[in-house]
Amino acid sequence: MTDLTTQYLILSAILFSIGLAGVLRRKNLLMLFFATEIMLNATNVAFAAISVHLGDLSGQMFALFIIAVAASEVAVGLGLLILIYKKYGTLDLDNLSIMKG
């Protein structure tokens, strides 16, 4: 079996960069959510790949943890998004700067 770890890690890096670019550039909260999900999954890929590479299961366990946490985060986060949308009528971050110092 050929070791594809390097390729997996490149994939993970590309995914993470896409996610990061999304986080930095997007102004819509929902899109930010998606971008962070992509970044989380990019790390999951990296965890799984390294776990296989080292023959250590704890990496894959960690990936499962992240999936679980991400799922609950989405559940709570989306609920909050809906509330924010109901309250302010927008999800555009430029209009949501009420925490200005």
Partner 1 sequence: MESYVYIALFAPLVSSLFAALFAQKPKVQLVGIATSILIGAALVASVILLLDIEETGKAVSVNLMDWIVVGDLDTKFGFTVDQVTVIMMTVVTLISTVVHVYSNYYMESDKSFNRFFSYLSAFVFSMMILVMSDNFLGLFIGWEGVGVCSWLLIGFWYHKKDETRDVNPSISPSWAANEAFIMNRIADLGMLVGIFLIYWNLGTLKYTEVFAHIGDLSHAMLVGIGIALFIGAMGKSAQFPLHTWLADAMEGPTPVSALIHAATMVTAGVYLVIRANPLYSQIPEVGYGIAVLGTFVAIFAASMALVNRDLKRVIAYSTLSQLGYMFAAAGLGAYWVALFHLAAHAAFKALLFIGAGNVMHAMHDELDMFKMGGLKKVMGWTFLYMGIGSLALSGIYPFAGFFSKDTILEVAFNEHTYGIWFVLWLTAGLTAFYSFRQVFLVFFGDERYHEIGAHPHEAKPYALWAMAPLAIAAVTVGFFKEDFVEFVTKFLPEYEMSEHTEHMVVILTIITTLVALTGIVVAYLKYAKGLKRDLEFEQNNKIYKLLYNQYYIPVIYDRVFAKPYKELSDIAWKEIDMQVVDASVDGIAKFVEKSGDASRKAQNGNLSSYLNWMAAGLVFITVIAAIAVAVQ
Which residues would be at the binding site for partner 1 (CB under 8 A)?
20, 23-24, 26-27, 29, 32, 93-94, 96-101
- The residue (of 55 and 101) whose beta carbon lies closer to partner 1 is 101
Report, in Å, the least distance between residue 33 CB and partner 1.
12
Report, in Å, the least distance between residue 52 CB and partner 1.
26
Q: Give me 49's structure tokens.
A: 């790949």
Strand partners, 92: 28
What's the rounded Cα separation, in Å, for the pair 47 and 70?
15
Q: Give me 63's structure tokens.
A: 């990936």
Distance spanning both ends of the chain, measured CA to CA: 57
- The residue (of 68 and 93) whose beta carbon lies closer to partner 1 is 93
- The residue (of 89 and 101) whose beta carbon lies closer to partner 1 is 101
What's the rounded Cα separation, in Å, for the pair 5 and 70?
24
Report, in Å, the least distance between residue 54 CB and partner 1.
21
Report, in Å, the least distance between residue 87 CB and partner 1.
16
Residues in the chain: 101
